Chains A and B, each alone.
Chain A
């Protein structure tokens, strides 16, 4: 079990290198490239909260044509890198969702596991790039929780948050990244989760609500013009007192 936690599926423990692949990072354009694209003072380099540089382009009236030129200038390799980055970010969202589902922890508690704000966690779940360290932590947390899964959210949450006999709270061990300690304390999980059958795309499409695009275009009609021709009129027997 320990080996399971120590050797996550994405590589050896010195994973920082392998996970800090270029695909981790947002596309960064050099100053030369910026000059070629004619970008001016409306642009600025910033760093995301993981310390990665990110290019922020404030939209100007020329923004659309600049974006089009930038798209044309990108090489196939850049596009491939971006696609891989997209896949990783997609995976982060899935992994965070699984972490929530398995642990039953609140967003606040999950954020404490990474020592970040709830907002940062929301942005990771929404596709923002994570640092290599945080991605590793996320994957190790998942491996740990899968290994000790008690089968229900309540049981898993209790296992992590209820004080043990010696007063230890295993949630704190996860914060410290002592994954082995958590697995050793709880032992292997005995969960037999039922894998729900995958619903077809057709079914999901049929069940989808009207998309925002349709809702926002909704026309608030006056009553229908042909709803009026009178055939008969009969008094309703309502006595009006007074």
Chain B
């Protein structure tokens, strides 16, 4: 079959249908998902179930799909943007659902519209589908309000756009990040202080790959946190945090500040990276 002409009626029909779709929209009537696997070296249940030899397109059962493609690409003509990326929906029990909603499970994203059905988005798997197929699906809006849209986008960013800190920095910052989980340790008030922050950013000067690096930690405190934390001023905590990251190896100078967001300027923010606490602090693999 030849490729459709850009101005063909079929292209117009598909574009008209896709005009309604948005990122986060749901197709509950699509209960299949395709990925590529090799049953000869099966890494998933679907691959293990297959009795066929060689590389296989494996179609497995899912509870529906969610559109991940950004809305601007969805609504552009399929003549120039023919693909839609989708992720499958999977079932979750109450605890799992709450964990996903709270952001504790970065491999999944929650959508308020799916809460009643106890479904979450499995971000580990993505399938590319041509718009001509998506145009025939029944669309259920996943969008409720701006805050939800933003949270969903954050889930995608967190899963796919983490900055890869150099290995020697990860080792260097290990002692600091290991204080974070110690919230029940009453001797670790610096750990509680770290957990109360809005975010931790790190700036490397002149660059992350330089032979000699000055590291500046920006401990950004939440607006709701006052100038004192549990009766201590933040500089006392800063002192104890910096003691956990003494200069070592390439990281010859280590400095830090506790600031409110408004005290960072645009250049500070852009030239620093959010400390990847997801992966610095925990390497445990858990079953859902």
Q: Do A and B bind each other?
A: yes
Chain B residues whose C-beta falls within 8 Å of the C-beta of A128 in the assembled complex: 233, 235
Q: Is A234 positioned at the interface, with any CB of B under 8 Å from its CB? A: yes
A231 touches B59 (CB 8 A): yes
A208 to B257 CA separation, bound complex (whole angstroms): 19
Q: Which of B146, B150, B200, B226 is in CB contact (< 8 Å) with A212?
A: B200
A93 to B180 CA separation, bound complex (whole angstroms): 25
A236 touches B56 (CB 8 A): yes
Give per-residue flags for A82-102: 1 if the beta carbon is below 8 A from chain B beta carbons, else 0.
100111011001101100110
A127 to B46 CA separation, bound complex (whole angstroms): 57
B231 touches A126 (CB 8 A): no
User: Interface-forming stretch among B13-21, B71-79, B96-104?
Assistant: B96-104
Given contacts A213-B195, A218-B282, A220-B286, contact A127 B54 (CB under 8 A): no
A89 to B232 CA separation, bound complex (whole angstroms): 12
B57 touches A234 (CB 8 A): yes
Q: Which of B37-87 contact A (CB under 8 A)?
A: 39, 44-46, 48-52, 54-62
Q: Which of A64, A122, A213, A233 is in CB contact (< 8 Å) with B50?
A: A233
A209 to B274 CA separation, bound complex (whole angstroms): 9
We find that the number of chain A residues with CB closer than 8 angstroms to chain B is: 64
A221 touches B107 (CB 8 A): yes
B105 touches A218 (CB 8 A): yes
A222 to B223 CA separation, bound complex (whole angstroms): 36
Q: Which of B107, B197, B276, B285 has the most CB of A within 10 A?
A: B107
Q: Is A3 positioned at the interface, with any CB of B under 8 Å from its CB? A: no
The binding surface of chain B is classed by DSSP as mixed
Q: Is A118 positioned at the interface, with any CB of B under 8 Å from its CB? A: yes
Chain B residues whose C-beta falls within 8 Å of the C-beta of A119 in the assembled complex: 255
Given contacts A93-B263, A127-B233, A127-B234, contact A217 B181 (CB under 8 A): yes
A212 touches B180 (CB 8 A): yes
We find that the number of chain B residues with CB closer than 8 angstroms to chain A is: 90
Chain A residues whose C-beta falls within 8 Å of the C-beta of B260 in the assembled complex: 93-94
B44 touches A127 (CB 8 A): no
Chain A residues whose C-beta falls within 8 Å of the C-beta of B48 in the assembled complex: 228
Q: Is B25 positioned at the interface, with any CB of A under 8 Å from its CB? A: no
Q: Is A35 positioned at the interface, with any CB of B under 8 Å from its CB? A: no
Given contacts A206-B147, A229-B46, contact A100 B122 (CB under 8 A): no
Q: Is B284 positioned at the interface, with any CB of A under 8 Å from its CB? A: yes
Given contacts A127-B234, A224-B90, contact A122 B256 (CB under 8 A): yes
A220 touches B61 (CB 8 A): no
Chain A residues whose C-beta falls within 8 Å of the C-beta of B274 in the assembled complex: 209
Given contacts A59-B187, A216-B281, A230-B49, contact A221 B105 (CB under 8 A): yes
A156 → B minimal CB distance (Å): 13
Q: Is B283 positioned at the interface, with any CB of A under 8 Å from its CB? A: yes
Give per-residue flags for B249-287: 1 if the beta carbon is below 8 A from chain A beta carbons, else 0.
000000111111111110000000011111001111111
Q: Is A123 positioned at the interface, with any CB of B under 8 Å from its CB? A: yes
Q: Is A235 positioned at the interface, with any CB of B under 8 Å from its CB? A: yes
Chain B residues whose C-beta falls within 8 Å of the C-beta of A61 in the assembled complex: 187
B45 touches A227 (CB 8 A): yes
A126 touches B125 (CB 8 A): no
Given contacts A212-B180, A221-B105, contact A122 B255 (CB under 8 A): yes
Q: Is A214 positioned at the interface, with any CB of B under 8 Å from its CB? A: yes
Q: Which of A89-117 contact B (CB under 8 A)?
A: 89-90, 93-94, 96-97, 100-101
Q: Which of B88, B103, B146, B234 is in CB contact (< 8 Å) with A126?
A: B234
A98 to B234 CA separation, bound complex (whole angstroms): 19
A69 → B minimal CB distance (Å): 13
A213 to B105 CA separation, bound complex (whole angstroms): 13
The contact sample of 9 A-B pairs, CB cut-off 8 A, is: A63-B187, A67-B231, A86-B233, A123-B239, A216-B277, A221-B286, A227-B45, A229-B49, A231-B61
In the complex, the 9 A-B pairs of residues with the closest C-beta atoms, listed nearest first: A228-B45, A128-B235, A97-B263, A215-B277, A90-B227, A86-B227, A230-B49, A126-B258, A233-B50
